[in-house]
Amino acid sequence: MEIKSVSFLMSNTQLKACPEKALPEYAFIGRSNVGKSSLINMLMQRKELAKVSGKPGKTRLINHFIVNDNWYLADLPGYGYAKVSKSDRAVFHQLITRYILNRQQLVCLFVLIDVRHAPMEIDLEFLEYLGVNQIPFAMVFTKSDKIGPKAVQDRIKNYNEVLLKTWEDIPQQFISSATTGEGREEILDYISELNRLAKLEATS
């Protein structure tokens, strides 16, 4: 898919204030600092579209963008950031769960996982939550440039062994790097295909 246009629409703390057109939507979520904003910038080939930060917890709102005038992209706040207060965390949690469970347009939630780390309870629980609630999602292993390709394969193999303890099938997965652009084409092609299917569904 070629990105012909992308613009920032709005930042929100409330589901009901999110953009309203019936366009397919794709959201990016994951632990704080996993590289959500960086991945969005890489996919869109725009350096500063989504705010990137060395400090975890930068994205605190749902940020909506419109791409090619025909789909929405949402940058969600990171979960599991220890340094925010308990009450802030509860607010994030509520915002995220409300969004995930109620956003009609949501076609696929991309769950980002730092490829360097061993499976973390918080991510496994989150994936489980999506499964239980039948939310369509895909996993993206980020920051592949930080370790070699062999190490990437080893980590993913290990991750999938853990997943298979609770999942029947391995979910759709991508490998990405905001630095090298790895995964860009695959993720955009995937979105493109889902957009095509969403359109067919809407007209049938």
Binding residues for ligand GTP, per CB under 6 A? Answer: 32-38, 52-54, 56-59, 78, 142-143, 145-146, 177-179
Using DSSP, state whether 140 is helix, strand or coil: strand
The answer to the question of residue 59 lying near Mg ion (CB under 5 A) is: yes
Residue with the shortest CB distance to ligand GTP: 78
What the block records as the tokens of 174 is: 């991508």
* Piece of the chain touching Mg ion by CB under 5 A; list 11-19, 51-59, 81-89, 155-163: 51-59
What the block records as the tokens of 50 is: 């989504």
- When the beta carbons of 110 and 195 are compared against ligand GTP, the nearer one is 110
Figure out which of the listed residues 33, 37, 144, 176 binds Mg ion, where binding follows CB under 5 A. 37
56 binds, among Mg ion, ligand GTP, none (CB under 5 to 8 A by kind): ligand GTP
* Piece of the chain touching Mg ion by CB under 5 A; list 17-25, 55-63, 104-112, 142-150: 55-63
The answer to the question of residue 63 lying near Mg ion (CB under 5 A) is: no
List phi, psi (to 5°) of 137: -145, 165
**What b/e sequence results for 165-192 when a residue is b if at least 16 CB atoms lie within 10 Å of its CB, and e otherwise?**
eeeeeeeebbbbbbeeebbbeebbebbe
- When the beta carbons of 114 and 198 are compared against Mg ion, the nearer one is 114
Residue 77 Cα distances to 112, 169, 190, angstroms:
12, 28, 23
The residue count for binding Mg ion (CB under 5 A) is 4
Rounded Cα gap, residues 160 and 141, in angstroms: 12
**Binding residues vs Mg ion (CB under 5 A):** 36-37, 58-59
